[in-house]
A and B are shown apart, each in its own frame.
Chain A
């Protein structure tokens, strides 16, 4: 038997270059396994919605029903959290949700790569959302948007403290948004790999960690869906803060 080095649980998060591309302005833009799974996620999304919107019958079949339920779910979430003015942002929120949920679920396929477990990916998305929402707030309210940092009816002598604390709490939004998704995905996958290592190491009694592993995979599927939902809901809440300002 060949003496393989034991794979550490962190080996699954390594970036592997699949198609090397020349550097662009000093940055390495090669096509990696991360890019491959992002392309697969987007392709799956396009497939679901192309097949789902083909039939257009009044009583929907299965694919059409799936596409309609997904849209209705996001549209309801946006309406509940961002009000009627959030309607024009449904396409964007929808894209965010579908991308995150498909990337999370693709990570549950064996031997695949979880795109959203890398904080740079989730931080890029959260930073884009944060900057976009701030710009929307300024575009809609002008400089009055800065009143977000000094709520109505707060005592004037506390104003410097309140403004600084509100500013910090506003700036910590993209950080918490990105870390929540990345940490949940990374921790779940590390746990699965560590338990899988135990299955091999315990020999005959390997069925004990194996049954726990089965339960955990079910839990991880739930966490994948839930974290995508939480990311989307929080995006809608931040959008509501910008559009309606309390």
Chain B
């Protein structure tokens, strides 16, 4: 066999050996984390982090309510983004499993 065929075969063997050392089992069906508490918590956490950062930016730059309000709103948007991503991740895993 030529050299490149040998090396590509070696790569394939190494990859297959890597994949078999961790036991191959079908994914479990449990809910991976988007329960109602988790969704509400993500919203609050995003808003909280935004408010926190906004408050300290305001103290640093002496622009009293501006950064706080803006960062609060952006933090809520980030919380909504996280929640939607979590929901999409759960449905994407289910559709991947059915393939």
Contacts and interface: CB of A to CB of B under 8 A. Distances in A.
A and B from one complex: yes
A72, A166, A175, A226: most-surrounded residue (chain B CB, <10 A) = A175
A169 interface: yes
B65 interface: no
A87 B19 CA distance: 10
Given A75-B22, A84-B19, A233-B33, A164 B74 contact: yes
A165 B78 CA distance: 5
B32 A165 contact: no
A222 to B, nearest CB: 11
A interface secondary structure, majority: helix
Contact of A169 (B18, B25, B78): B78
Contacts of B78: 165-169, 172
Contacts of B89: 237
Contacts of B37: 180, 183-184
A169 B79 contact: yes
A161 B45 CA distance: 19
A171 interface: yes
A175 B89 CA distance: 20
Contacts of B49: 168, 171-172, 175
Contact of B18 (A84, A168, A172, A175): A84
A229 interface: yes
B25 A76 contact: yes
Chain B contact residues (Cβ within 8 angstroms of A): what range? 20 to 34
Contact of A176 (B32, B42, B74, B81): B42
B50 A230 contact: no
| A87, A164, A169, A173 interface centre (most CB from chain B within 10 Å) | A169
Given A84-B18, A84-B19, A87-B22, A172 B77 contact: no
Contacts of A80: 27
A179 B49 CA distance: 12
Interface string B9-33: 0000000001101110101001011
Nearest to A81: B32
B69 interface: no
A168 B53 contact: yes
A76 B23 contact: yes
B62 interface: no
A30 B42 CA distance: 35
Nearest to A168: B78
B41 interface: yes
Contacts of A79: 22
A64 to B, nearest CB: 15
Interface in B70-86: 71, 74-75, 77-79, 81-82
B22 A230 contact: no
A98 B91 CA distance: 28
Contacts of B75: 168, 172
B41 A183 contact: yes
Given A172-B75, A179-B41, 5 more contacts: A72-B23, A76-B23, A172-B46, A233-B32, A234-B33
